[in-house]
Structure 1
Amino acid sequence: MILTVTPNPSLDRTYEIPGLDRGEVVRAAGERMDPGGKGVNVSRAVAAAGAPTLAVLPLGGAPGALVADLLDAQGIAVAPVPVTGQTRSNIALAEPDGTLTKINAPGPELGPEEAESLLTAVTERSAGADWIACCGSLPRGLAPSWYAELVARAHDAGARIALDTSGPALLAALKERPDVVKPNAEELAEAVGRPLTTIGDAVTAAEELRAAGAGAVLASLGADGQLLVEASGTWFASAPAAVVRSNVGAGDSSLAGFLIAGGEGPKSLASAVAHGAAAVQLPGSAMPTPADLAPDAVTLTAQIPWARPLKEAAR
């Protein structure tokens, strides 16, 4: 079972539009509404794959109730932590060429008691989890050390932790040795404090995160593919995407695929890439089912193309 933690969940509305013209009336060709937040998306991807999951998240107001209802409709167990603030609502505008414009609200501010209640809810339910995926930015009111405290408590309970966050929260959590961290290229560059222009640069940066405390690094490099750097070796994998409709939740789908396959080694990396490639070809933040996956299209190698330039250099 994969337990997910989303400190700042959202209600996500995605509109497919022909183009974005500022100051004009834009008529949407399609729309969808999904429960959002990185950990929520991981739970949705796990559930779409037919595996058990539990989503722990703070919820407040009418948007929070709707998030819970949408998750329940997808067969996802929810452990809500009530908060006084209102769960945020986000908007995404998806254009036919793959351009995505996102408007993310800040979300509610959590007080000290709410922060502690969220920690307690996770640790009380961690005993039956194979993995705990802690994902996303921290809401107002939670210190950067909050994830570090969560990792420490989860490890005390015997759980393995996959952490997908960035900035000071990531750096603080490394001291508690999370089992896997999942930065994208920009977050990886930020963590080491320098630009990354080649795949070799990304490997070196990932090795530095391991030296700082991460057990393994699963790095998403966008259209270039993904890297897995762990104690047993380093692998690189990629897969083509015929049509890119939306990249919302694609990284979260990748993390779900990685954990579903065991959370270590090249087999798990291949699963992560297959899930990510399938997700970008779906509308909005829709998560792929097994029927959407093309595992045979994944190219996996231990021969790292060190000098290959990243299509979009990370700074």
Structure 2
Amino acid sequence: MILTVTPNPSLDRTYEIPDLERGEVLRATGERMDPGGKGVNVSLAVAAAGHRTVAVMPLGGAPGGLVAELLEGEGVEVAPVRIVGVTRSNIALAERDGTLTKINAPGPRLTAAESRALLAAVLEHSSSVSWIVCSGSLPLGLTPAWYAELVTRAHEWGARIAVDTSGPSLLAALPARPDVVKPNADELAEAVGRPLATVGDAVKAAEELRSLGAATVLASLGADGQLLVSDAGVHYGAAPVSAVRSNVGAGDASLAGFLAAGGEGPDALAAAVAHGAAAVQLPGSVMPTPSDLDTAAVQVTADVPLDRVLTEQGSPR
């Protein structure tokens, strides 16, 4: 069972429009609502693969109730922490040419009592978990050190923990020695403070994160594949993708596949690559099911193409 922690979940509303014309009244041709947040996506992917998952998150107001309802409809067990504030609603405008414009709200401010209640909820549901996953941005009221505290607590509870965040929150979590961190190319570059031009640059950056405390680094390099850097060495995985429909949540699907496959070694990397490749070929933030995976197309090797130039070069923000 995989438990996810999403400190700043959202209700995501997507409107399909012909074109985005500033200052005009636009008529949507379609709309949908989805539960949002990186940890939420991981839980959705785990549930889609047929595994048990519990999603711990602060929820408030009508949008929070809708998030819980939508998740439960997808087979995700929700462990809500009730808050005074209202769960944020994000807006996405999807044009017919594939352009996506997103407006992400900051979310509610959590009180000190709500922060403690969130940690208590994780503890309450952590007794039989294989992994704890903490993902995404932190809401107002929580400092970057909150993730570090969660990592420390998880180890005290005897659980393995994966962290998927960026910026100060990622750097603050590293000294607490998370079992897995999962940056993308931009987040990896931001963490080490320099641009990444090649796969070799990404390997060096991942090794730096390990020197700061991460046991394993699973790095998503977009169209250029994925890296797994751990005590067992460096492995590289990739799979062909016929057409990219949406990369929203692809990294979350990769992390779900990696952890569901054990969270270590080349086989888990292959599962991560298969899940990520499947996710980008699905619309919106739809998570892949086992029938969407093409595991035969995945190639994993210890012969890492260090000189390969990154198509989507990571740059410090």
Alignment match, 2:247: 247
CA displacement at 1:63 relative to structure 2: 0.1
Shift of 1:296: 1.2
Indicate the larger mover: 27-36 or 67-76. 27-36
The equivalent residue for 1:57 is 57
Write the deviation string for residues 172-228 of structure 1: whole angstroms up to 9, x where unpaired.
111110000000111101111111111110000000000110010000111111111
Q: Is the 8 A contact 1:199 1:310 kept in 2?
A: yes
The whole-number CA distance in structure 1 between the counterparts of 2:230 and 2:294 is 25
Backbone CA RMSD of aligned residues: 1.3
- Structure 1 residues 258 and 96: CA distance shift in structure 2, 3 A: farther
2:139 aligns to what?
139
Report the counterpart of residue 130 of structure 2 in structure 1: 130
Deviations 1:47-95 (A, max 9, x none): 0000000000000000000001111111211110011110001122334
Q: Which residue of 1 aligns with 2:281?
A: 281
One-letter code aligned to 1:30: G
Segments of 5+ residues of structure 1 without an aligned counterpart are none
Shift of 1:22: 2.8
Structure 1 Cα separation of the partners of residues 291 and 19 of structure 2: 30
Counterpart CA distance in 1 for 2:105 and 2:120 is 26
* Aligned-pair CA distance for 1:98: 4.1
Deviation of 1:273 after TM superposition, in Å, equals 1.1
| 1:267–1:27 distance in 2 versus 1, CA, 3 Å | farther
Measure how far apart 1:312 and its partner are. 2.0
**Who is 1:43 aligned against?**
43
Q: Give the residue type in structure 1 aligned to 2:127.
A: A
Percent identity of equivalent pairs: 72
SS of the residue corresponding to residue 271 of structure 1 reads helix
Tell me which moved more, 197-206 or 245-254. 245-254
Matching residue's letter, 2:258: F
Q: What does the per-residue CA deviation read over 1:17-43, in whole Å, with 9 as the maximum and x for residues that have no partner?
A: 444333344444433211110001100
SS in 2 for 1:126: coil
Separation in structure 2 between the aligned mates of residue 15 and residue 243 of structure 1, nearest angstrom: 22
Report the residue type matching 1:36 in the other structure: G
Bigger Cα displacement from structure 2, 240-249 vs 47-56 = 240-249
1-structure distance, mates of 2:148, 2:78: 23
Counterpart code for 1:212 = L
What does residue range 1-315 of structure 1 map to in structure 2 within 5 Å?
1-315=1-315
- Tell me if structure 2 keeps the 8 A contact 1:98–1:244: no
Q: Normalising by structure 1, what TM-score? A: 0.97
Measured in 2, the distance between the counterparts of 1:253 and 1:93 equals 23
Q: Is the 8 A contact 1:9 1:58 kept in 2?
A: yes
Code of the residue aligned with 1:312 in structure 2: it is E
The answer (yes or no) to whether the contact 1:94–1:245 under 8 Å persists in 2 is no
Which whole-Å CA distance do the structure 2 matches of 1:23 and 1:297 have between them? 46
Q: Following TM superposition, by how much is the alpha carbon of 1:276 offset from its aligned partner in structure 2, in angstroms?
A: 0.9
* Whole-Å separation in 2 of the counterparts to 1:254 and 1:94: 24
1:103: Cα distance to partner? 1.1
Deviation of 1:298 (Å): 1.4
How many pairs does the alignment contain?
315
Whole-Å separation in 2 of the counterparts to 1:276 and 1:27: 33
Shift of 1:97: 4.8
CA distance in 2, matches of 1:97, 1:228: 34
Q: d(CA) in 2 for partners of 1:239 and 1:101? A: 28
Calculate the TM-score normalised by the size of structure 2: 0.96
| Partner AA of 1:238 in structure 2 | A
Contact 1:56/1:80, CA 8 A, preserved across alignment: yes
**1: distance between equivalents of 2:136 and 2:192?**
19
